[in-house]
Amino acid sequence: MLRKTGLFLTVMMLLFTVIPIGTAVGAGIPSFKVNLKASQVTVGDNVVVTVYGNNVTDLYGYEAVLTYDTDRLEFNKDDNTKSYGSFEGYKIVQDSGNQITFAYSKMGNKTGENGDLAICTLIFKAKKSGQANVTLKQMTTVTSQSLPSIWNVNAQAAVKIDGTVPGPGGGGGGGSITPPTKEDPNLYVLKESELRIEAGQDGQTSVTAVIDSKRLEQKLADLKATSGSTVLSFEIPGERDLNALELPLPTLLSSLKDHKDTILSVRSHLGIYDLPMSILNQADFAGMAGVEGATLIIRIDKAKSLHETKFDQSISDKGMVRVSGMIDYKIILKTKDKEEEIHSFGSSFVTRVIHVDAAIQDPSAATAVVYDPATGEMKFVPSVFTAKDGKTEVKVIRNTNSLYAIVQNKKTFDDMIGHWAKQDVEQLASKLIIAGTSDRTYTPEMQVTRAQFAALLVRGLGLPEEAGLNVFTDVAATQWYASEVNTAAKYGLVQGVAEGQFNPDAQITREQMVVMMMKAIGLVQGTSTSNASSMNISFADQAMISDYARNSVAAAAAQGLIQGKTETDFAPQDVATRAEAAVIIKRVLQYANLINK
């Protein structure tokens, strides 16, 4: 029990008030956790431990009780009597055995703290190799109205310590130095000196890992020399709202020739960003080769609560449910003078991962979506779900950065009951790729126009619509499909029927649909069907297939992506229906690994 002359009334209440464990007298239901600044250190390094509170309401004072591994960690009370918390006040620290009590109180007539915040930080010294644990056992909180609450927490964090210190007499007989653990060539282990922890805006917590140029250069060389893998991982420690990795761009560009296939994998508790180094060949990056001090910043940030609230309100009206956090993925080029966000990667599709704290067993009724807070617009994003151990990992595959979330949605149509395309149509509708002709009907036998199918491909690939493009003279900017048709043209998915003409309202034939289909697959995979002319086409009506479509039809048939309209005929000149279009879109996405198979 702490005793010190001059303690304020609130601190005394923290230490001596007895109420049932787990009972909250004040407003709100907060939660508490403990995080480490670095998950791996060496003997002699500082081990920085921070206690965080979420949903804190009117926090005027508190008492944190922690336990720690005394064999491997040393606590220095004198170093910890300074103010390491997120706000000023009166602090008392007591170390007793393996338990630390850290008490705090504001002074005078002040309001308490609210929201998500770093409550206090304690510093240990690593003194012996092995794994050391620090556990937040209990938090007692007091409001500005002197209302106390006691919380059993039992939140644990672990740090790996490499190496041991010499015993008495230096290296002779009294002890020895354990050789450092062999470092994983695929993992860049962050040093404490490379981490910068700050308070972000709106009460958010922030961590930035600033990568050392020489260490990165050596790590890339080691990866090439000793590992069969092409992935170099960076693990950002803790559970902060804003997570950034800052890489020296000149080092990356000078290494690009030998590492064009290397992927920089940034991992945080929010998700993963897998950035191919080949992206650096683009003009935005390559032009920075001679700029001293230029850095590439990879960000994985939790969305602002305002954006989450607006999003949840908008989807609830549509019967959808958000099942993940909203994560903002960004790539930023930084120089001494400015920061420039890179939104698009051209034809390169990049993988990001969002973690969901639940097992999603039916990926056909769930999808990743991109959300624009400025317009409130939400759209489908290609995504693959993997459920394991009660949680789900969602791979988001897209050629742009943005704000993403995972939603569950189930759509059915009355006129698809018993239809051969029911499963495919309703899956794509649930994923927001296609829409019905009304809320309850899809009209599967309605014929499809060239503009409609081009729009479906653009939506299915998650391509960002290009405003201001005017590729075809017969595609008026006022038409609903204008931006999608022009986007399809930009990415090479469609061609005109004559110079400057697309003929958007003409009904699309089956062979035209297959040509667009194979171009979409080629875009994602970086391939083409130009070498498919030697393949045999086994359809009885193959002579009716146009010359421009023969390669695409042959390749699609060889890969099992299309079937004949009958057992013998492909019917290349027949007009495609809405049901056929949905099936083709689904096959494209599954073949290109953009949705679950």
pLDDT of residue 260: 87
Per-residue pLDDT for 443 more than 90?
yes
Q: Which residue has the tokens 């620290």?
A: 93
pLDDT of residue 84: 46
Q: For a pLDDT cut of 90, what percent of the chain falls above it?
A: 52
pLDDT classification of 365: cutoffs 50, 70, 90: very high
Which helix H or strand E contains 117, and what residues bound it? strand 113-126
H helices of 243-369, in order, are 249-255, 283-286, 305-316
Q: How far is CA 314 from the centre of its chain?
A: 22
**Computed over its alpha carbons, how large is the radius of gyration of the chain?**
29
Cα gap 409→321, rounded to integer Å: 7
Which whole number is the average pLDDT over 304-326? 92
Q: 587 or 568: which carries more pLDDT confidence?
A: 587
Q: 131 or 248: which carries more pLDDT confidence?
A: 248
Pairing verdict, β 366-372 and 377-381: antiparallel
Per-residue pLDDT for 592 more than 60?
yes
Give the chain's mean pLDDT.
Answer: 85
CB 253 within 8 A of CB 232: no
Per-residue pLDDT for 407 more than 50?
yes
pLDDT of residue 95: 76
Secondary structure of residue 425 in the 3-state scheme:
helix
| pLDDT tens by residue, 128-186 | 888 888 999 999 998 888 888 888 898 888 898 886 444 444 443 344 444 445 668 88
